[in-house]
Amino acid sequence: MLRGIDHVAIVVRDTERALRFWRDTMGLRVALTARAQAGTVQLTNLDLGDAHLQLVEPLTDDHPLLTWLGERETALHHLGLAVDDVSAYKDHAVASGLASEDTPIIPATMGRRAVFLDADAAHGVVIEIIAGRPREAGP
């Protein structure tokens, strides 16, 4: 049911500093920017072949991702895996103990839908299951 890697997300302390590396030095194109989590995080997606590299900058001083980041400037945070149908995958995940009935299906970038699996069940890695593929959203 998993079609592949949709995105790899990196939490960054400062998007502009991160872009000086990923965009200016590594040459990746910015595909989209968006606010998420009720405006508390800034997302910047960069094109990486069939997938995106997603920079996630927490915007509030008490954001849990800042606690998670600790002293680091940046760190790999989660793996976005593509499926055709998030609702169907959630049913499968609930049956497999990777999510609960209460786990929300959330709006993601470009009008897509996503569900985060329970990280404890998912062997300690944060996994976002997301419908579609970034490149399909065009242009």
CB of 114 to a second copy, least distance (A): 16
Q: Which is nearer to a second copy, 35 or 72 (CB)?
A: 72
Residue pointed to by tokens 């910015």: 30
Spatial separation of the C-alpha atoms in residues 135 and 79, rounded to whole Å: 17
Distance CA 58, CA 44 (A): 12
Cβ closest to a second copy, residue 73 vs residue 107:
73
User: Of 44, 45, 54, 74, which lies in the binding site for a second copy, with binding defined by CB under 8 A?
Assistant: 74
Considering only residues 10 through 69, tell me which ones interact with a second copy, judged by CB under 8 A: 10, 17-18, 21-22, 25-28, 48-51, 53
CA distance 133 to 139: 13
